[in-house]
Amino acid sequence: MRFELTKEYLDALQLAIAKQDVAWMKEHVFELHYADIGAMMDELEHEEAAYVYGLLDEETQGDLLMELDEDLREYVINTFSSKEIADQITQMDSDDAADLINELPEEKIEEIISHIDDDEAAEDLVDLLNYDPDTAGGLMQKEFIQARIDWPVNRCVVELRRQAEDVEKIFTIYVVDDTNKLLGFLSLKRLLFASPTTKIADLYQDKNVISVKTSDDSEDVAKIMEKYDLVSIPVVDLQNKLVGRITIDDVVDVIMDEADKDFQLASGISENIESSDSVWRISRARMPWLLIGMLGGIFGAQVISGFEGGISKVPALAFFIPLITAMGGNVGVQSSAIVVQSLARGTDQFGSILKKIGKESLVGVVNGLVLSIIIYGIAHFFDSSTLGLVVSISLFTVILFAAVFGTLIPLLLNKYKIDPALATGPFITTLNDVLGLFIYLTIGILMYGV
């Protein structure tokens, strides 16, 4: 049965919290999956959530902590002593533990680590804290299973039993030599079905061993795991020594965060924000793009003011200003979106820039022709057949330019190592606005002869 969070449940829970009704919570909360408890806590007031959290067992507390919203997590952590936090994070996977304490001030980190009884766990944690969170080292965990190539299967099972105590999900056994260098892997299935005296050397796979280095970018790790359909990947240091592993669930989070970031960038939001963030933070994240948009508008005003004489004689020219700017923006965003996506995927990497632009221009010609013909039929009713011609010729030109720029700009940004997703937002819209205005008004002035 999957748990469904309802308004009724929340009301009952809040009542139980107010009455400190632990019996109710034992029946309705404690047995739930930690992910469900986490989702429910995010809907409570901080004090209520911290109260429920305090009632849970250490294992659930450990699992739960990384599920909570950042503010709530900070609040909850502050209600516990360093010793208590140390006990809770000992229950967590090392990568989650490292992510968690990384958020804390330095002296607090030292205090917590000094309270971890298991020396090996403390060492692993200190090691993980050294890595940049956006690299394979920052994603990896120290819980993995390794086997020496010279072991027989029965020795391996004994050793695994010892190692496996800390490892929740095994997936794959990594095979190493006596200096800990990664040689290959062995599925648990093969181990399970092998005879006890077979040597690992005769059982393991050394073909297509895919690993990442600690310094590899986390987005690249995600791409590799997705490409090769991996559920876990070994992480090695510069000497190819096995130092950790990354599991797919952490990579799914990277993929989703990346998709969120791209979507927000394309929508003109410069920091990764959530709807629960403060008004001030949301406002700030949006400001850069709005300023760029405004700058574009000011340039646009400059362009139009250069044609003031013409507009005062033919005010009808002003009618289609929004149409021209909107269409330039829309086409530019469409073209750049396709480029940004194929860049992000690494597909189509050998096609030449000229060929891409050629194709986009063709798309521009097709759409431009269709739309120009339609708008000619409509625009001439607003003033005269001259206006129809002006709007229709400019629209075609603007669509063509917008398609070319929309393709070219993300490709250029990418060449200079700037995130091309930046191009798919107000930036390209703004550029095409200004350009479109100039084209439209120039053609207008020329054709009206004013």
**Contact set for its own copies, span 402-431 (CB under 8 A):** 424, 426, 429-430
Stretch of 36-44, 53-61, 115-123, 197-205 lying at the interface with its own copies (CB under 8 A): 36-44
181 binds its own copies (CB under 8 A): no
373 binds its own copies (CB under 8 A): no
187 binds its own copies (CB under 8 A): yes
Angle, to 10 degrees, between the axis of helix 106-114 and the axis of helix 94-102?
A: 140
Which of positions 64-93 make contact with its own copies (CB under 8 A)? none
Q: Are 247 and 231 in contact (CB under 8 A)?
A: yes
Q: Which is nearer to its own copies, 116 or 311 (CB)?
A: 311
Which of positions 37-56 make contact with its own copies (CB under 8 A)? 39, 42-43
Which of positions 121-160 make contact with its own copies (CB under 8 A)? 157, 160
Stretch of 70-78, 125-133, 197-205, 312-320 lying at the interface with its own copies (CB under 8 A): 312-320
Integer Cα distance of 86 and 110 in angstroms: 11
Q: How many residues make contact with its own copies (CB under 8 A)?
A: 127
Q: Are 105 and 112 in contact (CB under 8 A)?
A: no
263 binds its own copies (CB under 8 A): yes
Q: Which is nearer to its own copies, 86 or 184 (CB)?
A: 184
Residue in this structure with the two tokens 């007031």, named with its chain if needed: 45
Q: Which is nearer to its own copies, 90 or 429 (CB)?
A: 429
Q: Which is nearer to its own copies, 80 or 198 (CB)?
A: 198
Q: Which is nearer to its own copies, 235 or 379 (CB)?
A: 379
Stretch of 17-25, 136-144, 147-155, 222-230 lying at the interface with its own copies (CB under 8 A): 222-230
User: Which residue among 193, 202, 385, 412 contacts its own copies (CB under 8 A)?
Assistant: 193
With b for 16 or more beta-carbon neighbours within 10 A and e for fewer, the 346-384 pattern comes to: eeeeeeeeeebbeebbebbeebbeebbeebbeebbeebe
239 binds its own copies (CB under 8 A): no
Integer Cα distance of 215 and 33 in angstroms: 34
443 binds its own copies (CB under 8 A): no
Does an H or E element contain 183, and which?
strand 182-187
Q: Are 147 and 175 in contact (CB under 8 A)?
A: yes
61 binds its own copies (CB under 8 A): no
Integer Cα distance of 17 and 14 in angstroms: 5
Dihedral pair phi/psi, residue 402, rounded to 5° = -60, -40
226 binds its own copies (CB under 8 A): yes
Q: Which is nearer to its own copies, 62 or 116 (CB)?
A: 62
Least Å distance between CB 189 and its own copies?
Answer: 5
Which of positions 264-293 make contact with its own copies (CB under 8 A)? 264, 266-269, 273-276, 279-280, 282-283, 286-287, 289-291, 293
Q: Which is nearer to its own copies, 370 or 412 (CB)?
A: 370
Please give the full DSSP string across 219-254, using - where no structure is assigned: HHHHHHHHHTT-SEEEEE-TT-BEEEEEEHHHHHHH
Residue in this structure with the two tokens 């049965």, named with its chain if needed: 1
CA distances from 37 to 228, 389, 413 (A): 34, 64, 43
Least Å distance between CB 209 and its own copies?
Answer: 8
One character per residue 327-366, x = contact with its own copies (rule: CB under 8 A): x-xxx-xx-xxxx-xx----xxxxx----x--x--xx--x
Q: Which is nearer to its own copies, 24 or 319 (CB)?
A: 319
Stretch of 20-28, 103-111, 126-134, 377-385 lying at the interface with its own copies (CB under 8 A): 377-385
| Sign, Cα dihedral of 231, 245, 159, 178 | positive
Residue 186: name the closest of 172, 168, 207 by CA. Answer: 172
Q: Where are the beta strands (DSSP E) in 277-326?
A: none
104 binds its own copies (CB under 8 A): no
Integer Cα distance of 222 and 446 in angstroms: 54
State how beta strands 232-236 and 242-247 pair. Answer: antiparallel
12 binds its own copies (CB under 8 A): no
User: Which residue among 324, 408, 422, 423 contacts its own copies (CB under 8 A)?
Assistant: 324
